[in-house]
């Protein structure tokens, strides 16, 4: 099973109509669309990406799925955006997703950075309601990817020590390719 399928399975088990959810790195809009479908028109999703082209693709995908009405789309750095959302949405999100790395098919020099990601994760922990789900996929096979994943792993250890349930999933691959890793964290 692909990690993205596993993420979508977790979202399907977590989200229900009327919930709030956040896609911190919208990319091509797949997670956002799954979230918006699950929360329905009575729910709300927020999708964030630093690249306007990613938000445009996400908007197109949401519109095609007839889910645009329940979505707020932001072109912003995920750390700054999540921090600013804390005043309005603290402890209201049922699920938050991150896909760390770069947007497939785009400029690979534009990618998530460890410092910004850690700030976004800290804000995400404030945005999640009790029993909320945090799903983080880190793509480690590019320059900087392993460093970012290591820092996320350290952060996951910290929240686990604070009572969160944290599990990780790593596909088995043959050859030299470094597989991505998925963390599934449930807020205490």
Strands 20-23 and 44-49: parallel
Residue 153: in which H helix or E strand, if any? helix 145-161
Has residue 109 got a pLDDT over 90? no
Has residue 102 got a pLDDT over 90? no
In the chain, how long is the greatest CA-to-CA distance?
A: 46
Domain span at residue 62? 3-186
Q: What is the CATH number of the domain that holds 93?
A: 3.40.50.150
Name the H helices within 50-137.
Answer: 52-64, 78-89, 114-127
Q: What's the mean pLDDT in 81-95?
A: 97
Burial 18-28 (b: 16+ CB within 10 A, else e): ebbbbbbbbbb
Among all chains, which residue has been given the structure tokens 């007839």?
A: 66
Q: What is the number of domains present in the chain?
A: 1
When pLDDT is cut at 50, 70 and 90, the band that residue 1 belongs to is low
**182 vs 141, higher pLDDT:** 182
User: In the chain, what percentage of residues exceed pLDDT 90?
Assistant: 81
Q: What is the DSSP letter of 17?
A: T
Tokens of 22: 């956040």
> Do residues 98 and 49 make contact, with C-beta atoms less than 8 angstroms apart?
no
User: Whole-number mean pLDDT of the chain?
Assistant: 93
Q: Which pTM does this prediction carry?
A: 0.94
């Amino acid at each position: 099973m692909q990690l993205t399928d596993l993420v979508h399975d977790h979202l399907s088990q977590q989200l229900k109509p009327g919930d709030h959810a956040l896609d911190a790195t919208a990319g091509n809009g797949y997670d956002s669309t799954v979230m918006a479908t699950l929360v329905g028109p009575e729910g709300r999703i927020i999708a964030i990406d630093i690249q306007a082209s990613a938000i445009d693709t996400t908007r197109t995908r949401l519109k095609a799925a007839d889910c645009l009405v329940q979505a707020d789309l932001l072109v912003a750095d995920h750390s700054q955006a999540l921090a600013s959302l804390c005043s309005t949405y603290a402890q209201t999100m049922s699920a938050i997703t991150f896909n760390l790395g770069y947007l497939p098919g785009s400029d690979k020099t534009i990618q998530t950075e460890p410092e910004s990601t850690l700030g976004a994760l800290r804000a995400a922990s404030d945005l999640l309601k009790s029993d909320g789900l945090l799903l983080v996929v880190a793509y480690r096979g590019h320059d900087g990817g392993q460093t970012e994943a290591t820092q996320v792993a350290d952060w996951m250890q910290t929240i686990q020590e604070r009572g969160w349930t944290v599990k990780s999933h790593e596909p088995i691959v043959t050859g030299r390719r470094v597989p991505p890793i998925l963390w599934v964290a449930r807020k205490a």
